[in-house]
Structure 1
Amino acid sequence: MPFPPFLVLVCYILSFFCFHNISSQDTEHVRNILHEIFEKEKYDKRVRPSKDVSRAVHVSIAMDISGINFLDEKAGVFSVTGYLEIKWRDEFLVWQPELHGNVTSFTIPQEHIWIPDLFLKNGVKEPKGLGGSFYYLPVNHTGEVTWWPYQVVETHCPVDITYFPFDTQNCRISFSLWNHENTLVNITSARKHVGNFHFTENGIWTITANHSFVDRDELAIFSQLIITISLKRKTQFYMWNFIVPLLLLGMIKIFAFLIPAESGEKVSFTVTLFLAFGVFLNLLSSHLPENSDSVCLICVYMEIQLALGVFLVFIASMQVKISHRDHRLGFSRFELRLIKLLSRDRVVDCSEKEQECATNWTILSSAIDKLMIIITTAVELFLILIFFMIICLGG
């Protein structure tokens, strides 16, 4: 049975005034609480919120990270975005809810009450206070205050590039008090690990571990919250753009000795390989910090390849010179042993026509090519094996 329109209108008006009166009562009670605390009891934010001056104020801190912004290897700067969850008890912000319409909490601007003088100790910018004038802090009737300052944290982070690009970096975030000693304000850690509320993955780094703990400063005067974050570099980009082309380029050196010396292309081919490694080394150096704290193993590998490239250019040049020797000259004892070791069939033919054999310098060049193919292949495989063993054990 439908209600008469008049009855519906009366119910609507009564409910409006009832809820309006409740809201007005709550607002009036909050005003009374503020008047009692700030006017009658003369609350002063400059005073540490402890009625017993010998008792320290315990400030509980936890951190949640919403994303990694960057890790600048050159500047040694680590940047994350997140917020702190800071709690403490203000003994001067206490009231009895039953005397104030059962109001148990309200919010108040940050600049109106006492807050701990926290700052980022190892930051790269000028130190400044947390939060801002637009922050409203919830206050409970027991005096518990909660503060959620949102921060873009940029700190110093020493970078170890030894195992680049399979490296793991350990960065530290340190929050401390500026003026209050630990006997006055004591920091405690609310959690052992950093939270990841609404965390957004980074394209270069992934967090493998983190830890949060409280420590004292160097003089054991101020307490500080230290957060350590371990970052593992994602290697897919570097594998396909650095490592794989570098390994393939190293294997191409073997093909330099498949080119006949008399073709005139052997020296230019080895010089091109040498320059290619130089370009790779220059490209890699542009991604690494300019410091001497650590040596990048992949840079050492490329410098060894450059040294081998110089050696290959020397061998190729000697082969070209040998191929253009005077046909009237004969082989030395060492050259004959090399030919017999690597070109036995040709040596048998050579013994029957000694005069013709003595003037055929392409036989010696071919023997050198075979010897260098064996040596280059063995050295290249050895370098690759040693390189990956060091990377896997250390990285």
Structure 2
Amino acid sequence: DDQHPYMISYNGQINWTPASVFTFYCQLDMTYFPFDSQTCTIYIMAIDYSMQQLNIYFEEGPRFTSKQENGEWDVIDLELQETPQKDLTERPEHKVLLKLKRRSAFILLNVYLPVIVLSFLNLAVFVVPAESGEKLSYVLTVLLSLAVFISVVSGMLPTTSTNIPIITIYLSLQLLINTVSVLLTVYVIRIHHRSADKPIPSHLQFLTRIMKKSASNKIDLGSSDDRIKNWNIVALSVDKLCLYIFTTIVLSSCCALLFIIAKDEY
């Protein structure tokens, strides 16, 4: 071979060290993205020979003689595994395991942290007064911001992953929470601006008494001014209940996400 000559030693040993560039593909498990680790398997075999004709062995394990740092992956280990063969008629085969770990700092600061912040910002919609006129526009802005981050994360994930990433499940849950928040916000605004002539339903009276921590007296529906005021109180009570419920859901989902990540890391 003119490109890869043989080196013949004085003791009769012949060395041939061909160089080439190989491209290989790995099946990715993106469950814990971006805190995932991947193991790529490289098979080294002589396809046209059996072990009677040719055997492959390594004097030492594989090593990196020249490695360029990658901004996305860290090489954790490079391991050689010999595949035992039952008889000499089989092909000689070895496996090289390349273990990689994703660098997660960039995605953590630019994706995870903003999404968690948006999850808590969504709770503020239940604190914004209905009479301000900004309640609905606020929750829609948070919803659109979350939709943008979902698009960003979708662009980072490969379409060949065998499992659904946890971050995708978390984002879908937050999107569902935000959507329900929009519907509840519309409901609260309608209650707040409801006509004073309409009576307050019994279930809303009960909810208002619970939120006010007073179960002894019913809401007074005597005068028109009282009814307008009481409809406002009902809207505030619904907001307060939603704030408690959604805070519990968001905190639980965030804690579950952090627990799963920490469990995988350590």
What is the TM-score when the length of structure 1 is the normalising length? 0.61
Q: Which of the numbers 212, 215, 229 marks the counterpart of 1:343?
A: 212
Aligned with 1:149: secondary structure?
coil
Give the letter aligned to residue 70 of structure 2.
N
Please tell me whether the aligned partners of residues 205 and 218 of structure 2 are also in contact (alpha carbons under 8 angstroms).
Answer: no
**Structure number having the greater strand percentage:** 1
Runs (4 or more) in structure 1 with deviation over 3 Å come to: 216-220, 347-351
Q: How does 1:1-395 map to 2 (within 5 A)?
A: 111=1, 133-191=2-60, 193-215=61-83, 221-291=90-160, 293-343=162-212, 351=220, 354-355=222-223, 356-360=225-229, 361-394=231-264
Q: 1:262 to 1:218 in 2, by over 3 A?
A: farther
Q: 1:214 to 1:246 in 2, by over 3 A?
A: same
Q: What displacement does 1:186 show?
A: 0.6
Q: What displacement does 1:341 show?
A: 2.3
Q: What displacement does 1:162 show?
A: 0.9
Please tell me whether the aligned partners of residues 343 and 363 of structure 1 are also in contact (alpha carbons under 8 angstroms).
Answer: no
Output the CA distance in 2 between the equivalents of 1:142 and 1:178: 30
Please tell me whether the aligned partners of residues 37 and 99 of structure 2 are also in contact (alpha carbons under 8 angstroms).
Answer: yes
Please tell me whether the aligned partners of residues 205 and 232 of structure 1 are also in contact (alpha carbons under 8 angstroms).
Answer: yes
Please tell me whether the aligned partners of residues 211 and 227 of structure 1 are also in contact (alpha carbons under 8 angstroms).
Answer: yes
Output the CA distance in 2 between the equivalents of 1:329 and 1:248: 39
Q: What displacement does 1:215 show?
A: 1.9
Larger radius of gyration: 1
> Per-residue displacement from partner, 1:20-57 (whole Å, max 9, x unpaired)?
xxxxxxxxxxxxxxxxxxxxxxxxxxxxxxxxxxxxxx
Q: What displacement does 1:233 show?
A: 0.3
Once superposed, what is the RMSD of the aligned Cα atoms?
Answer: 2.4
> Per-residue displacement from partner, 1:300-347 (whole Å, max 9, x unpaired)?
1000111111110110010111112110122222212222222359x9
Please tell me whether the aligned partners of residues 189 and 213 of structure 1 are also in contact (alpha carbons under 8 angstroms).
Answer: no
Alignment identity in percent?
25
Q: Say how many residue pairs are matched.
A: 261
Give the letter aligned to residue 368 of structure 1.
V
Q: What displacement does 1:250 show?
A: 0.7
Output the CA distance in 1 between the equivalents of 2:257 and 2:190: 35
| Runs (5+) with no aligned partner, structure 1 | 1-110, 112-132
| Runs (5+) with no aligned partner, structure 2 | none
Give the letter aligned to residue 153 of structure 1.
F
Output the CA distance in 2 between the equivalents of 1:384 and 1:262: 31
What is the TM-score when the length of structure 2 is the normalising length? 0.89
